[in-house]
Structure 1
């Protein structure tokens, strides 16, 4: 059957681009299949993002489609390079869904991340105690499963310790800061942690206060992962009760970029946000 694969955002974008290039060049699926020593069904799976493309196959297709422009070649190669990077979270028997693995891959490679959260502190800013209380409060899980997910959440935060960390913008509603997750001591520690994180030059935390009576709430929490050239790929992860959906259609991504921009104008400044977070932390400390 060949190398079946989950249709990641990169693979979907690569497949669509290769189909466009093939059709523009007037090449049939049979001719394309012959160039990579496959069959028509393999080309179909590649073009729908359901089959991994090796570098040799990509070189053959780019030659057949007469793709000579250097920027286009670099972009296609960058999209196809995903499979050469073994994911740090992969381990035997790990219980992660394909969609969540895709989100982790996007998070690991993004140059900038922007998120809006209306209910909880995002995972990249959570303390261990807060994450444990949050996971324990969701669907009942065995202790080892809780520990697995908490450890994973803590490991994800290593992106901020890289030599070149991603820029990170987090916009929260004030209600997130008051929600009792794990009790006053856990909340005080969590909010102090956010204040400390905000001191990093690449991390910005903004709060939409209760006093902001009118702001464009998008109705859900979401994350925008942005990847620079040559990849030039932006993907939005939209959170829902039944899982996370990843969107990469240009029009959909632009809509969420605009939403994040409107939310930013509704929020306090970074300095005011940190002051508010610290103030609420002090209140928890005195409970």
Structure 2
């Protein structure tokens, strides 16, 4: 993947906003280009997310369009600033889909992460052996074997847990903790890592007990990312076997936030979650 593909989500987000501002003012692309003192080709590249925009240039365009809402301006300028930062993932020689690049870049800039996992330990908590076992489970249906550095790539993401500004709240279904991924030894080590991280950090993990019955997470796992600080961008990431999505429509994000809040209310407390994890580990 070329360096120009590194922040496609951010570029698309900014581009959609610029196109919307132009349409609201009834301007053709040529007329808008004259107004904002850019060439039509440059403005088109910005609107289509084909080119990163410098915060200084974006600020000037927002001024020309008369965008004065400070919250809206701060959010877009924050996206533009983040989009020009180099990404650690560029050094990994592994296949990177546009989704994973977008997700990892957004995750790396997140100030808050809330997730629900129904069938697996969250990636940010996985041990190398657990991750390898998860990747290996998909080998029979792969057209090509997974890259050896894929495990290292996933584990590298975990460094964000040391960021003082980051707060993570995980909810994990009990079934995911009882599944013997990689066997008893691997799972035992995985449970110990979960306990170590959650007991020694400010991050919060709750277990959704099987006895809780039906709940709003039955449709599958999801992650809510609050990205940036000045005016946080909210994105929800969901996955399936063959496709992954980034959702940013406010109404749909609100539904996921409600679901996460409801799941939190039904999950065990932090203390009881730790006790259950210890109990499961003792049975291996």
TM-score exceeds 0.5? yes
Which residue of 1 is the match for residue 18 of structure 2? 18
Which residue of 1 is the match for residue 196 of structure 2? 196
In the TM superposition, 1:131-210 aligns within 5 A as 131-139=131-139, 145-162=146-163, 164-210=164-210
CA 1:142–1:166: 2 relative to 1, 3 Å: farther
CA 1:241–1:253: 2 relative to 1, 3 Å: same
SS in 2 for 1:211: helix
Which of structure 1's runs of 4+ aligned residues deviate more than 6 A? 141-144
In the alignment, is the contact (CA less than 8 A) between 2:72 and 2:231 conserved in 1? no
Which residue of 1 is the match for residue 107 of structure 2? 107
CA 1:66–1:196: 2 relative to 1, 3 Å: same
Root mean square deviation of aligned Cα = 2.6
In the TM superposition, 1:257-268 aligns within 5 A as 257-268=257-268
Number of aligned residue pairs: give it: 280
Runs of 5+ unmatched residues, structure 1: none
State the distance in 2 between where 1:123 and 1:93 align: 20
Q: How far is the alpha carbon of 1:59 from its aligned partner?
A: 3.5
CA offsets, 1:178-223, max 9 Å, x none?
1111110111110111111111342111111121123223411111
State the distance in 2 between where 1:241 and 1:143 align: 15
Which residue of 2 is the match for residue 32 of structure 1? 32
Q: How far is the alpha carbon of 1:37 from its aligned partner?
A: 3.2
In the alignment, is the contact (CA less than 8 A) between 2:226 and 2:235 conserved in 1? yes
Q: Report which stretch shifted further, 88-97 or 152-161.
A: 88-97
Which residue of 2 is the match for residue 81 of structure 1? 81
The TM-score with structure 1 as length reference comes to 0.87
CA 1:81–1:201: 2 relative to 1, 3 Å: same
Runs of 5+ unmatched residues, structure 2: none
Which residue of 2 is the match for residue 125 of structure 1? 125
The TM-score with structure 2 as length reference comes to 0.88
In the alignment, is the contact (CA less than 8 A) between 1:5 and 1:52 conserved in 2? no
CA offsets, 1:86-130, max 9 Å, x none?
111113743110111101011100001111111110110001111
State the distance in 2 between where 1:208 and 1:18 align: 42
Which residue of 1 is the match for residue 220 of structure 2? 220
Which residue of 2 is the match for residue 57 of structure 1? 57
Q: How far is the alpha carbon of 1:144 from its aligned partner?
A: 9.1
State the distance in 1 between where 2:234 and 2:92 align: 30
SS in 2 for 1:89: helix
Q: How far is the alpha carbon of 1:52 from its aligned partner?
A: 2.3
CA 1:9–1:83: 2 relative to 1, 3 Å: closer
CA offsets, 1:257-281, max 9 Å, x none?
1111111112111111110001111
CA 1:259–1:48: 2 relative to 1, 3 Å: farther
